[in-house]
């Protein structure tokens, strides 16, 4: 049998915010394919109802209409949903 080579792509495809000023912008939800090293990863089921609602609403537009710091999410967190997304 052939062992399938597995590797983790540890750099973020969407990348970090382009500059520190990006952190001042409204939080956004960005789909990613690779989990950045050190990122906190949360499953959708770990989020509060309010955060789940905001996240599912945000996904088409990408705009997260909540303050991540007031929920159980922070900028940089990765959430496992139907795709992997990052709070940017």
Partner 1 sequence: MREIAIHINPEYKRRVMSQSYVIVGDGIAGASAAETLREEDPEADITILTDEGEALYNRILIKEFAKGKLPEAPISIHDESWYDDRDVDLELNTLVTNIDPDAHTVTAHDGTEYEYDKLLLAIGGTPTQLPVENSDAEGIHHFWTFQDARNIKEHMEQAENSVVIGAGLLGIDLAAITAAQDVEGKYLMRGKAWWRYALSQDGAEIIHNALRERNVEPVFDSGVDHFEVDDEDRVTTAVDPNGDHYDADFVGIAIGLNFNTEILQGTDIEYDNGVYVDEYMRTNHDDIFAAGDITEFHDLILGERAQNGAWGSAKEQGTIAAKNMVDYGTEEFRWVSSYSITHFDFPFLSFGHPTLGDDHVEAKYSDTEWRRLAIKDGKIVGGVLIGDLSPQTKYKKLMREQVDISGQKDTLVKQDFELEDLEGAAAEQ
Helix and strand numbers, DSSP H then E, in the chain: 1, 4
Touching partner 1, residues 10-29 (CB under 8 A): 10
Q: Is residue 44 involved in binding partner 1 (CB under 8 A)?
A: yes
Distance CA 6, CA 31 (A): 22
Q: How far is the CB of 3 from partner 1 (least distance, A)?
A: 5
Touching partner 1, residues 48-77 (CB under 8 A): 49-50, 52-53, 56-57
Question: Which member of 17, 30, 39, 75 binds partner 1 (CB under 8 A)?
Answer: 39
In this structure, the chain runs to a length of: 88
């Amino acid at each position: 049998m052939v062992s399938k080579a597995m590797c983790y792509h540890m750099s973020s495809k969407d990348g970090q915010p382009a500059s520190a000023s990006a952190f001042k912008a409204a939080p956004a939800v960005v789909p990613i394919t690779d989990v950045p090293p050190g990122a906190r990863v949360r499953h959708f089921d770990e989020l509060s109802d309010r955060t789940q609602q905001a996240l599912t609403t945000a996904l088409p537009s990408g705009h997260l209409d909540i303050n991540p710091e007031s929920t159980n999410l922070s900028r940089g967190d990765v959430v496992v949903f139907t795709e992997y997304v990052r709070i940017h």
